[in-house]
Amino acid sequence: MTADTIEPEEYASDPAERRREQRGWYFYDFACSVYSTSVLTVFLGPYLTSVARAAADADGFVHPLGIPVRAGSLFAYAVSASIVVAVLVMPLVGAAADRTGRKKPLLAASAYLGAAATAGMFFLAGDRYLLGAFLLIVANASLSVSMVLYNAYLPQIAQPDERDAVSSRGWAFGYTSGALVLVLNLVLYSGHDSFGLTEGEAVRICLASAGVWWGAFTLVPLRRLRDRQVRPEGAERAGEGAVGSGWGQLRATLKDMRRHPLTLSFLLAYLIYNDGIQTVISQASIYGSEELKLDQTTLITAVLLVQVLAVAGALGMGRLARTHGAKRTILGSLAVWTLILAAGYFLPANSPVFFYWLAGAIGLVMGGSQALSRSLFSHLVPRGKEAEYFSAYEMSDRGLSWLGPLVFGLAYQLTGSYRDAIISLVIFFVVGFTLLARVPVRRAVEAAGNPVPERI
């Protein structure tokens, strides 16, 4: 046993050490959320679209690998492709982490690969749309892989009754960092002339700085978190570390998950409604710039508003969960998401005020719905299989969320209207709500062999 590997009994008996790890854990959200906010939500969509249009033919199409793609759909397709890559990698990484008990080296590798790809976006200029798509695929897939490992720490650093609050604080840390960096981005972008920069150079600096931030603050969780070897009940350790066993372990994980059908029922519901959430997050800037004709400064300030209100929303929904339970609180948030999309469809163009109201509503429900879903799932995971099961969760969170961007991109490709694309996402929230409402979460926690919190 190494200095960084401790038994779970030591963790459980030392509240001070547990709090220290929780504080370190929060900082990975603080590190990587800047990518999600500044890169994926604000700058890269419109910028990559402009780069693709610079390379497009007279009909507005680019031809990666000889495939005709409307320039306005490239970003959505690249997001979808990144998720397919993540699907292939995440279960293998999760299984390897559970076999060895060494999540931290894998977290470091995936985090720094994503940070490097993001920093490399500084070189995305001219008509280099293929470079932009490639870096997006690498960065987004790396983020998904790292989140498997990050989320798998939650059951090991927080007791059952703490998890809603701890998960919500992690999201709040992420939104705080996103808001802080967006303020700096806004200063640089709005005053790029006074800094002697072109608009494109300012955008590329904002993109690259997100990668530097991600890499720098990842050092905090890597110093604070401790790896634990937790043997799954009935697991055979011999030969589990053999090279090439990853796909066999993936099959074994999926087979094992069939023994927990209620956990799978929750994952199915989460897969559906979170697909809608992730697509709204990743495509909002394109919708604002292309359909609503809003300028980049308006988009930045709107997303900044989302970040500020998301901190309050994540913490507030965490408190609601203590009173009403996580499941009921999530269901309420999904109803609000449905109303948000319906309102978004009817937003008039060139009306920043209405867009700000919509952004505020998104901020209030976005963090809480995701934080509470993560903490609720942590109760449904059999002990010792955290990374494996969280790889399946992350496939639902980011890894299998390819359908929403694909539908969004296809809707635009076929109709040329982003309004048609945005309204198509309502179905994800309606179906997800219906499926989640049918999951008996108390029985699911008991079936996983975990203690049932007083409110869930």
Q: Give the Cα-Cα-Cα angle 431, 417, 39 (nearest 5 degrees).
A: 75
Instruction: pLDDT band for 227, please (50, 70, 90 cuts).
Output: confident
In the predicted model, is pLDDT for residue 246 greater than 70?
A: no
Please give the Cα distance from 433 to 92 (Å, whole number): 30
Mean pLDDT value across the chain: 83
- Find the mean pLDDT for residues 195-222: 95
Mean pLDDT on 56-80: 85
pLDDT value for 397: 58
Q: What pLDDT shows up at residue 140?
A: 92
For 1-32, what is each residue's pLDDT tens digit? Answer: 344 444 444 444 577 788 889 899 999 999 99
Mean pLDDT for the stretch of residues 392-418: 72
Q: Is the pLDDT reported for residue 235 higher than 50?
A: no
Segment 300-315 mean pLDDT:
82
Distance CA 275, CA 399 (A): 10
Backbone angles phi, psi at 147, to 5 degrees: -70, -30
pTM reported for the whole predicted model: 0.72
Predicted local confidence at residue 200, as pLDDT: 92
The three-state secondary structure class of 227 is strand
Percentage of the chain exceeding pLDDT 70: 89
Stretch 298-315: mean pLDDT, rounded?
83
**Each residue of 318-348: pLDDT tens digit?**
888 888 888 999 999 999 999 999 998 898 8
User: What are the C-alpha distances in Å from 162 to residues 91, 168, 456?
Assistant: 27, 10, 12
The single-letter code of the amino acid at 102 is: R
pLDDT at 165: 80
Q: Provide the Cα torsion 288, 290, 294, 299; round to 10°.
A: 40
